[in-house]
Structure 1
Amino acid sequence: MRERWDGQPLWARGVLAVYVIGFVEGACVHLLDLARDGVHAYAAFPQVPLRVFFVGLAVLDPLVAVRVGLVRRDGVRLAGAVTVADVLANWWGNRHWLQDDPARLVPLAPLTLFGLFVVASLVPLCRTVAGPANEPRTVPSAAGP
């Protein structure tokens, strides 16, 4: 694993570290919510699919953190998908506060900024992590006539 990290440019190591920290923090939040309130931790959301998704983040967030920590391209892609889904689900589930009490949306700011960071860095990071030192390339075999 150390070779994978050492094989990345400095900027990519910084971005990977931010990803890992962000997903570990997210995992802690969701695990603490579940430890405190059980499967009803997200009962404030009337949409059952959102509740299921937020409970599922207790598994998805650590999975992403591990895959990104292993400097795997699939981890970077999964980070993008999970982050976009998480940001959209939070904004959708809290959209009524836009009219009722916009100040209650302030806690969504860090998640939204993290989401923008992940989306903005996703393509360059995927390209860098996919370098030849990181993933074996298959060489097509020469087929005889």
Structure 2
Amino acid sequence: MNVFVDHPAVLFAVLLALFIGAVAFGAFVLRRLAVLPPDDRDDCNIIQTSTLTLLALLVGFSLSMAVNRYDVRESLEESEANAIGTEYARADLVDSAVGAITILPATVALSLALIADIDSPKGGVIRVELRDLGRLLTSLEP
């Protein structure tokens, strides 16, 4: 199961093969084993139209949710950038010793954001080992 989650291309290929096989099997059964009278064919056309309409709605709502999530994520990134910028601006207003202590959390957050691969397939999970984090913190101390 993890192969499908970690590699969407493999999932796409497997599902495409399954769908093509299902369509071929359905066409075989329809043409060889079951001959539909014309009245039943009209009923199948209505069902086909309804199914395609539901599929179009599903795709439309999925795309809408994806675009909405992208906009929310972009807004959150902008708010975080503004907060870090405000922290830097406020740290410049006080003397240098207090400013260095004040700016340390913002610098750590910015450094961790640069370490994190936001567009990774894992969903932006930050994987920092403790020795790397300790080295980062000691390099940031005033």
TM-score, scaled relative to structure 2: 0.31
Higher helix share: 2
TM-score by length of structure 1 reads 0.30
Task: Identify which of structures 1 and 2 has the higher relative contact order when contacts are C-alpha pairs closer than 8 Å and 6+ apart.
Answer: 1
| Larger-Rg structure | 2
